[in-house]
Structures are given as structure tokens and as C-alpha cells.
Chain A
Amino acid sequence: MRRIIAEDPYWTLTAVPCLSNLCLQCLVNNFEKKPICEELTASQKDFIQERLSPSLPLHLTANLVTDGVYWKRCCEQKWDVCDVSHYGHSWKRMFFERHLENIIELFIPKETDPKVVLQMVPLCKNYVKRLDISQLLPPIKEPQREEEEDGSDVAMDIEYDGPGIDHFDFGILLDELTNLEELHLTYGFKQCGMNFEWKMFEMTDRDCESLAKALKSCRTLKLLRLHQSHIEDKKCRLLVKYLIDHPSLRALDFSHNLIGDSGARAIGKLLTKSKLEILNMCDNNISGVGAKAIAHALSKPSSLLSLNLRLNHLTDEGGEAIAKAMLKNNTLLHLHLGGNKVTWLTAIALSEVLVQNNSLKSINLSSNKLGEVGGKALEKAMSHNTSVTECDIHLTEVNEQSVSSINQLVWTNQSLQQKKHAK
């Protein structure tokens, strides 16, 4: 029935929708059966984007609907906190990255079908640039418990070392994601509850090998962050072996692992052979020997800009070695040697560096027992230096006077730099 009630005082023409809008609404309603999007004008596309249902299957929308309001709605429907600035201001990228992360994080080896991941690959490979995976689930251990009840410790050990404990294999994924640039990875378990076991937070040998191969196959990767994953020297060597010829890797982060001196030697080798710019080895077990290896790499021309050796066991042996290497280096900008049990010997060596070197911008020697002698040496050196804008010497048992004078010098350097920038 179609009629207009003349007496209706609320009837207005503005309430009547346009035919074009009705048509577009119809397109929206039947988008699943017949997706039409390419032929529309920009304003019509906007109209459709605002009205499409976020629950539409991804294989339909992924490559058809462009980045815009639709993906914003999808994201906001799925997650509460959405900071698009972390994703290059692209809602679509955000959606696909987080979606893929969720899938991988909830992937249970031998339980979940790998097709679930593989199906997503063609849809999201154009949009995913970064993967930040905060947990990798181990396989379900029910059969192990049964064995435990049988009381066979040996069998359990075999089980543990066997393939049963392996995590998600990145080999199937990384070579497909052609736009991937950053990979943040931790072999951990977020909500373990009372089922805690150390093994849950470890990377197995098999995991390490598959990951190393996968990393080698991912030619676009620029940043690798593998933290809190119980990497020992052996695994580190394995990873470095595969990463040594990587064409695009620029930043490497092995923080909070168990890498020792032999691992550090491997890293030193990697530094000389690749184009790494940022290296973060904080909170490992590197001692003087390992530091010497890294210092050796530093003394040769390399592209390294930032070196972080925080919370290691360098001692004066490693500190002095690095300071000597820095005399030959003109590229490094940031150096962090905090918490390394170095003493005034290293401070004196570094003060020589500060006098000569004009590329270093920030230096951190906090939580070391430099003593008054080291402080004074540094103070003296800083008076000849104009490039250092950050110098952290907290908790180093340095004289208050020298600390304040160093700070003053740093601040003048800062203002100088700012003026340079302003110009």
C-alpha cells in the first residue's frame, strides 16, 4: 500500500530517502551475494562503507573494500582499545595484523588446523607489516599427564625433548607475508595459572631451527625482536647462522635471554657481515670474552648505530675492550653499558673516547661502580666534547659535584644541538 496521509503533520519530504540511497542500501544488503564496489563513485563508496556489516566473510571484503570507515568499524567491534597511530593510520592494516596475531596466538599445535592460518595468508599478506606475537601456546599435555600417572620419568623426559612440545611453525607463514617488516616474538604463555612449568617459556631446538629457516625466507624483514625466550648460546648461534646473509634486517633484539660468550661471538660475526643498525642484547650473560668479540666487530667499519649491553657481566675486561674499539668507530650514536660491573678503569678508557669521538650522542654507565676517579675523568673529558647530549651516570658512586658539572655540560650540548636543528 502506498499512500500519503495529508493530515499527517509530521510527514515531510525530507523523510523520504533518495532512490539512489535506496539502491545503495540494496547493494549493501546483497553484498554477500553480489559484491559491487568498483563501479561506484567515491561518495557512494563512503556510503557503502558506513553501512556494510562487519560480520561479512573476510575473503569477500579483504581485497574489495578499501581502507576506510568499514575497517574502523570492524576494529572497534572486535577490540576495545584501538590506537590507529601505531599502524601507520591504516585501519585495514590494524585489523589484519591484529586478526593474524590473534589467530597465531591461539594456535594450538596438532590441535588447530594449519589451514586456518594459511587461509588468511592470501587475504592479509598485502596489509600485514608487523606481527607482535606475545604468546605461543604449547601443545595440549593431557597424554603426558597420563604418562606421569604411570610414573615413568624417563618417558616424560623423552616426551619433553620430542616433537610434542614444539610451538607454532613459522615456516608456513613468513615466506608468504611479502610485506612483513617487523616481527616481535616471545615464546611464552600469558595466563598459565597454576600449571606453571619452566618448559612453557622455552624455545625448543626444533622451534629454533624452523624459526631460523622461516626468518631466512622472509626477505622483507627489517626488525626482529625475540625476547624472553630462553635463548642459549646454541640457539643463538643457530639463529645467527641463518640471519647472517639476510638482505634487509636492520634491527635485532635478543633482550632478556641467556646468551653467553659464544653467542656473543656469533653476534660479533653477524655485526661485521650484515648491515645491522640497532642491536639490543640487554639482560644476557655476556662476560668480558663475549664483549671483546663484539668490541672487535665495533672496531671494524660497520653500520651499527645503537648498541645496548645493559645488565650483562662485561666487567672491566669487556668495558675497556669496547672503549678501545670506540676509538676506531665513527658511526655509533648510542651506547648503553649500564649494570655491567665496570669500574673507574673503563671510565678512564671511555673518557679518552669522549675526547676524541664526536659522533657519540648518548652514553649510559649507570649502576656501575665508577667511583670518584672515574667521575672526574668523565667530567674532564666532557668538557672537550660537544656531541654527547645524554650521559647517564646515576648510581655510580660519582661525586655530586662532577655529576652536576657533567649534567651542565650535557645541557649546553643539548641546547647547542637544538639551535643547530632550529637553524
Chain B
Amino acid sequence: MEKIDKDPEEAPGRSVLPEKQETKTRLSTWKAEKNPNEEVTEQSKRDEEQERTKRIISLQRELTTSVTNIQTAGDAKWLERRAELEEARRIRREQQENDTKASQEKYDEIIRSWWTLNEDKITPELYEALKSHQQLCDTIIADKKKRINDLQQELKKKDDHYVKTLRNNEEEIDLLIERMEEQIGTLTKAYREELGQMETVDQQETEVSLAQYKAEWQQEMKELWDKQIAQLTERRDEVENYEEKLHDQMLKDTDLYIQMLREENDSQFKMQREHQQMKGADRIMKLLTKSKTDQPAKVKMSSIKSRISALQKEKQTPKNERMRQQKELAQKREKLSAEYKRAVDEYERLQKQVKHFSVADARRFREVQLMAEAERKEQVENVLALDSQICKHLGIAWKWPDLPFMEHSGPIQPQKQALRPDHQQEEGEVSMETVKTVMELLCDETGFLMESKLLQLLAPLEKEEQTFVKLTALFHSLGIEGEDVPELAGFILKYKREQGVQTEDVCAESSDVPKAAETSSSTNKSSELIHYSNVLPALRSFLEQRVESRESTAHQRSSVGHAEAPDASDYKAYWDSMANIIPEDKLKMWDAAEKKFRQYHGVLKNISELRSQNERLQQRNTELRAGGSQKT
């Protein structure tokens, strides 16, 4: 019973222990946290803190001491109780011992009385003895009952006591809890205060440091700003300085420039003035001289001048007209020349085409002819072979007919080759020098054909160039091309020879002419070649001939296919000879022979039929014969 009531008393003590440890650890951690702060704060604060820590430690000590006090008090109480219990137990034991002793005595007495009873057997005595005996027993029983009562009372007391102690314990526990709570409250309060203080301290510190930093920052910013402002002012001063300088420089420069300009202008004006002065002086002098010389003619001059101006005006209009016309003409000419060039190109192209076609046609014609001839020859040979066979069959002697055309092959070549370039050979003989001289002559003689203006223009040029330009103009106007020049020269020379024959008669009649010619020949070599009077007719005739020849060549060229082909009659004969290779009588003979052959064929047919019949009959005969032999 006691043990159970002891347990709760101990329980609070146990529960306090961890808290104590906790507070200790808290303290240590708090101290650890506090340590760095301590270093920062000053000495006075440290003292303060030490005081505070002391306070806390004392608080904690109080806490634990109170608990230990209670525990020890509990222990002491328990010891007391134990002592009491032991005492009670001891008393009880003594009482019991006494009791047992007393009861033993009484029991002994009873036993003894029993013995006496057994010895003395007198009834009244016995009765008395029995009575006393009974009394003794009663007293023993009463004693026992009393003892039991006492014990029961004691038990009751103990029970009450137990309940009381339980109640006491409860009260004490309540008190203890209350006290503990109080202590915890005070401790937490202390801690809270501490915390608050710490916080305030911390806050103050942070505020102080913040203010310090702020001040520092502001100071630094101020310094920076001052620096910047100083720099800015410096810069501004510099800028102003430079601006001033620039302004001065500009002003100086402009002044200089203006001065220069002015000087230049002055010199120019001076020069102009001088010039004008000189001009004026000159003009005055001229006027003076003029006025001196042309005083009377002045009036006429003016009239003439007016007329001249009028005329000039008049002249201007036709001039304009002419210019316009010239322009138009030039345009037209250009157009026409372009057209002409195009036509010539076209013509040349056509000519080329024609040439090409003619060559192609000729080749084709030749091929066709060759092919046809080959065919014919084959046919002829066939015919001849047939003929020979027929003849052989008929027993007529046959001989190879004479066939001259069989050797011939290809188209019949035209025999006449035009000997056209006969004068070309002569041309070759014509040397360049003669040509030159002839050309010069021609130039001189045909001078009338040139425009006077052109001649005027050519006048300053050298002779050779003159002749060249003249000739080009001449040939251009006459339509002679550069390549025809040697031909022309040749023609002129030939013409002279021809004329020479004719003129010999004339020369005979008028001998002064050759004489003159001779004289001239002595002086001029060209006169040997041709007389200048003959040049013009020669040229004319050349031109005529040329025109003719051109027409003829054009004609020739157009009909080159027909002209070069052999005569149609030749071909006809050729083909006829081929067709008539088999003569008429032979044809007749062939007809007769055919007739005869037909007849012969019919006879042969009959014979073959009869023969087959015969054979069949023979067969049947043999069969019959065989059958008969078998039968027999």
C-alpha cells in the first residue's frame, strides 16, 4: 500500500529532470548564440549580461533545488513513516508476546486446575473449580476478543491514516505542481524578458549600425557628388574657354577672308578699269581715224549697210530653206542607200541560193540518168539474151549487135566550153602602173563630171589623193566597182588598139594628129597607151558593154541548168537506139515463133496425157495379169 502511494510522489521529480536538462541545454545554446554578440558589444554590456546570466543561473538553481528539496522531503517522510511502522510493528509484537504470555499463564492455570480437579473428586469443590475454570476461560476469550478488537481498531486507524496520507500526498502533489508551474512561469518570464532585452539590444545595435552605415553612405555619396560637381564645373569652364577661343578664331578668319576678298576685288576693278580705259582710247583713236577718212562715204555706207542687212535677211530665208531641203535629202538618201544595200544583200543571197540549187539539180539529174541508164542496159542485155536464146532455139545464128552506147555512161557532156576570160589574160598583162596612168587620164578627162565645188575642196590636196578622191566619186556615180578597175583599164587599152586600126586611116588623112600624138607621147607616156580624146568614147562603150554583159551573165546564170544540158535530140537518139535494139523483123519472127511454140506445147500436153493413160492401163493390165496368175 505504501509503495503505491509513494510512486506518484516520485513521478513529478522525475518529470522535472528532463526539463532541467532542457533548460540547461537551452542556456548553453543561448550562450553559444550570445558569444559572438558579446565580442561585439562593449565592456559595460558584458557586465550587464554576466549579471543577467547569473540571474538565470540562480533561477535555474532555485528550480532544481526546490525539486530536490521535495524529493528529499519525500524521502525523509518515508523514512519517518518507515520508522513509525517499525515502531508500531514492534509494539504489536510486544503486545502479542505479552498476550501470549498471559494467555499461556492462564492456560497453564487451567491445565493445573484440571489436574487438581482430577485429583479431588468432591462435587461442590468440583463445581467451584469448574466455575473458576469457566471464569478463566471466559477471561481468556474476553482477552482474545479485546485483542481482536484492538487490532481491528488499529487496522481501521491505519486505513484512515492511509486515506489521510493519500489525501495529503494529493494535496502536496497539487501544491508541487502549482509551484512547479509557477517556477516554470517565472523562468519563462525571465527568459522572455531576456529575449526581449536581447531583441531590443539587437534592434538597437542594428539601428545603430544602420544609422552608421547610412551616415557613411551619405557621406560617401556627398563626397562623390561634390567630386562630380567639381568635375562638372571644371568641364563647363573648359567648354566656355574653348567656345570663346573658337569664337575669336572665327572672327579672325572671317576678317582675314573679307580683307582678302576686298583686295582681290580692288585689283580686279583696277584691271577692268584699265582695260576699259584702253579700249575706250583705242576706240576713240579708231573713230578719229575713221571719221577722218570716211567722212563722205559715211552716208553711202549707211545706205549700203541697210541694204546689206536687208539682203542678208532675204538671204537668210532661202538659206534656211536649203538647209531644210538638204537635211531632207540627206535623210532620204540615207534611207535609200539602206534600202539599196538590203536589196543587194537579198540579191546576193538569191544568187548563192540559185547556184547551190543548180549544182544540186545537176548532181541529181546525173544520178537519175545514171540509174536509168543502168536499168536500161540491164533490160537491153536481158532482151538480147532472150533473143539469143530464141535464135539458138530456132537455130538461127545470132551475133552480138554493135552497141556503141553501152560503153557510154553518165550524162552527155556539153562540148562547148565558153572561152570567156580571154581578155583576162590581157588583164594580167596590164601592170599596176599602166592602170594608174590610165586612171589618172580618166580622171583628167572626166573632170567635167565632177562638181566644181568638190574640185574646189580638193584643190589644196596632193595630186594622187585628188585623183583617188575623184576616181572614187566617178566610179561611184558611174556604178563601177573597185574590182572592175583593172577590167576597165584593159578595156580602154584594147579599145585604143581597135581604134588605132580605124584611126590609121584617119591618121593617114590627117597626119597632124599622130604627130601631135607622137609629140605628146614623147612628153607623156600615157599618150602612148591611149589618146585622151579616145578615153571618153572608150569609157562609154565599156559602160554599154558592161551593161550588156551584165544582162547576159544574169541571163546565163538564170538558165544555167538548161544551157549546160546536152541537146534533147542527142538524148532522143540515144534512147531510140536503145529502144530499137531489137529490129522489126525480129519481132515478127518472135511472134511467129510464139505461135509455133504454143502449138507445140498443146501437142506435148496431149502426149503427156496419153502417156499417163497408157501407164494406168499398163498398171491395170499388170494387176489383172497378176490376178490371173494367182487364180491360175
**Which A positions have Cβ atoms within 8 angstroms of B?**
228, 256, 283, 310-311, 338-339, 341, 366-367, 392, 394-395, 411, 421-422
A392 & B72 in contact (Cβ 8 Å cutoff): yes
CB-CB < 8 A to B600: which residues of A?
none
Residues 150 to 164 of chain B near chain A (Cβ within 8 Å): none
Give Cα distance in the complex from A288 to B73, angstroms: 24
- B245 near A: Cβ within 8 Å? no
- B31 near A: Cβ within 8 Å? yes
Give Cα distance in the complex from A311 to B76, angstroms: 9
A-B contact pairs, 23 of them (CB 8 A): A228-B3, A228-B7, A256-B3, A256-B6, A283-B6, A310-B75, A311-B75, A311-B78, A311-B79, A338-B72, A339-B75, A339-B76, A339-B78, A339-B79, A341-B79, A366-B72, A367-B72, A367-B76, A367-B79, A392-B72, A394-B72, A394-B73, A411-B61
CB-CB < 8 A to A421: which residues of B?
28
- B577 near A: Cβ within 8 Å? no
A394 & B69 in contact (Cβ 8 Å cutoff): yes
CB-CB < 8 A to B28: which residues of A?
421
B72 & A395 in contact (Cβ 8 Å cutoff): yes
CB-CB < 8 A to B76: which residues of A?
339, 366-367, 395
CB-CB < 8 A to A339: which residues of B?
75-76, 78-79
Give Cα distance in the complex from A78 to B78, angstroms: 39
Instruction: Say how far B220's CB is from chain A's closest CB, in angstroms.
Output: 40
Known A228-B3, A256-B3, A411-B61; contact A392-B78, beta-carbon cutoff 8 A: no
- B68 near A: Cβ within 8 Å? yes
Q: Name the residue on B nearest A341 (C-beta).
A: B79
CB-CB < 8 A to B31: which residues of A?
422
Give Cα distance in the complex from A311 to B75, angstroms: 7
One digit per residue, 1 when the CB lies within 8 angstroms of any chain A CB and 0 when it does not, for chain B 18-48 equals 0000000000100100000000000000000
Known A411-B61, A422-B31; contact A395-B73, beta-carbon cutoff 8 A: yes
Give Cα distance in the complex from A228 to B6, angstroms: 11
A367 & B75 in contact (Cβ 8 Å cutoff): yes
CB-CB < 8 A to B6: which residues of A?
256, 283
CB-CB < 8 A to A228: which residues of B?
3, 7
Instruction: Say how far B59's CB is from chain A's closest CB, in angstroms.
Output: 13
Q: Name the residue on A nearest B82 (C-beta).
A: A311
Instruction: Say how far B205's CB is from chain A's closest CB, in angstroms.
Output: 23
Give Cα distance in the complex from A366 to B7, angstroms: 19
CB-CB < 8 A to A366: which residues of B?
68, 71-72, 75-76
* Complex A-B, nearest 8 residue pairs according to Cβ-Cβ distance, in ascending order: A366-B72, A394-B72, A339-B75, A367-B76, A367-B75, A395-B76, A339-B79, A395-B72
Count of chain B residues near A, Cβ 8 A: 15
Known: A228-B7, A421-B28. 18 other contacts (CB 8 A): A228-B3, A256-B3, A310-B75, A311-B79, A338-B75, A339-B76, A339-B79, A366-B72, A366-B76, A367-B72, A367-B76, A367-B79, A392-B72, A394-B69, A394-B72, A394-B73, A395-B72, A395-B76
Instruction: Say how far B601's CB is from chain A's closest CB, in angstroms.
Output: 113
CB-CB < 8 A to A310: which residues of B?
75
Q: Name the residue on A nearest B77 (C-beta).
A: A367
Give Cα distance in the complex from A366 to B6, angstroms: 18
Give Cα distance in the complex from A364 to B268, angstroms: 136
Residue among B72, B76, B79 with max Cβ neighbours from chain A (10 Å): B72
Instruction: Say how far A239's CB is from chain B's closest CB, in angstroms.
Output: 20
Main secondary structure of the interface of A (DSSP, over half): loop
Give Cα distance in the complex from A90 to B7, angstroms: 30
Main secondary structure of the interface of B (DSSP, over half): helix
Give Cα distance in the complex from A394 to B76, angstroms: 10
Q: Name the residue on B nearest A395 (C-beta).
A: B76
CB-CB < 8 A to B78: which residues of A?
311, 339
Instruction: Say how far A388's CB is from chain B's closest CB, in angstroms.
Output: 15
Give Cα distance in the complex from A166 to B230, angstroms: 103
CB-CB < 8 A to B72: which residues of A?
338, 366-367, 392, 394-395
Q: Name the residue on A nearest B73 (C-beta).
A: A395
Give Cα distance in the complex from A57 to B68, angstroms: 48
CB-CB < 8 A to B73: which residues of A?
394-395
CB-CB < 8 A to B68: which residues of A?
366, 392, 394
Q: Name the residue on A nearest B78 (C-beta).
A: A311
Residue among A310, A395, A421 with max Cβ neighbours from chain B (10 Å): A395
Give Cα distance in the complex from A367 to B78, angstroms: 10
Give Cα distance in the complex from A256 to B6, angstroms: 10
One digit per residue, 1 when the CB lies within 8 angstroms of any chain A CB and 0 when it does not, for chain B 42-74 equals 000000000000000000010000001101110
Instruction: Say how far A364's CB is from chain B's closest CB, in angstroms.
Output: 8
Give Cα distance in the complex from A246 to B71, angstroms: 33
Instruction: Say how far B313's CB is from chain A's closest CB, in angstroms.
Output: 103
Give Cα distance in the complex from A45 to B274, angstroms: 119
Give Cα distance in the complex from A421 to B31, angstroms: 12
Give Cα distance in the complex from A421 to B32, angstroms: 11
CB-CB < 8 A to A367: which residues of B?
72, 75-76, 79
Instruction: Say how far A284's CB is from chain B's closest CB, in angstroms.
Output: 12
CB-CB < 8 A to A341: which residues of B?
79
Give Cα distance in the complex from A365 to B122, angstroms: 75
Give Cα distance in the complex from A283 to B81, angstroms: 13
Give Cα distance in the complex from A12 to B78, angstroms: 73
Q: Name the residue on A nearest B68 (C-beta).
A: A392
Q: Name the residue on B nearest A255 (C-beta).
A: B10
Q: Name the residue on B nearest A310 (C-beta).
A: B75
Residue among A256, A341, A392, A394 with max Cβ neighbours from chain B (10 Å): A394
CB-CB < 8 A to A394: which residues of B?
68-69, 72-73
Give Cα distance in the complex from A394 to B72, angstroms: 7
Give Cα distance in the complex from A394 to B74, angstroms: 11
Give Cα distance in the complex from A343 to B69, angstroms: 20
Give Cα distance in the complex from A394 to B70, angstroms: 10
Give Cα distance in the complex from A61 to B36, angstroms: 49
Give Cα distance in the complex from A225 to B69, angstroms: 26
CB-CB < 8 A to A392: which residues of B?
68, 72
Q: Name the residue on B nearest A188 (C-beta).
A: B4
Give Cα distance in the complex from A341 to B78, angstroms: 12
Q: Name the residue on A nearest B35 (C-beta).
A: A422
Q: Name the residue on B nearest A313 (C-beta).
A: B82
CB-CB < 8 A to A422: which residues of B?
31
Instruction: Say how far B495's CB is from chain A's closest CB, in angstroms.
Output: 121
Q: Name the residue on A nearest B80 (C-beta).
A: A367
Instruction: Say how far A340's CB is from chain B's closest CB, in angstroms.
Output: 9
Instruction: Say how far A283's CB is from chain B's closest CB, in angstroms.
Output: 8
Instruction: Say how far B574's CB is from chain A's closest CB, in angstroms.
Output: 112
Give Cα distance in the complex from A3 to B31, angstroms: 65
Q: Name the residue on B nearest A422 (C-beta).
A: B31
Give Cα distance in the complex from A366 to B68, angstroms: 9
Give Cα distance in the complex from A366 to B79, angstroms: 11
Give Cα distance in the complex from A341 to B31, angstroms: 42
Give Cα distance in the complex from A422 to B7, angstroms: 38
Give Cα distance in the complex from A395 to B79, angstroms: 12
Give Cα distance in the complex from A311 to B31, angstroms: 38
Give Cα distance in the complex from A338 to B78, angstroms: 12
Residues 75 to 112 of chain B near chain A (Cβ within 8 Å): 75-76, 78-79
Give Cα distance in the complex from A185 to B79, angstroms: 26
CB-CB < 8 A to A283: which residues of B?
6
One digit per residue, 1 when the CB lies within 8 angstroms of any chain A CB and 0 when it does not, for chain B 115-135 equals 000000000000000000000
Instruction: Say how far B19's CB is from chain A's closest CB, in angstroms.
Output: 13
Give Cα distance in the complex from A421 to B28, angstroms: 10
Give Cα distance in the complex from A256 to B7, angstroms: 10
Q: Name the residue on A nearest B76 (C-beta).
A: A367
Give Cα distance in the complex from A366 to B75, angstroms: 8
Give Cα distance in the complex from A422 to B72, angstroms: 32
Residues 508 to 522 of chain B near chain A (Cβ within 8 Å): none
Give Cα distance in the complex from A51 to B36, angstroms: 47
Give Cα distance in the complex from A97 to B61, angstroms: 36
Give Cα distance in the complex from A367 to B391, angstroms: 190
CB-CB < 8 A to A338: which residues of B?
72, 75
Give Cα distance in the complex from A310 to B31, angstroms: 35
Give Cα distance in the complex from A265 to B6, angstroms: 27
Instruction: Say how far A201's CB is from chain B's closest CB, in angstroms.
Output: 8
Q: Name the residue on B nearest A340 (C-beta).
A: B79
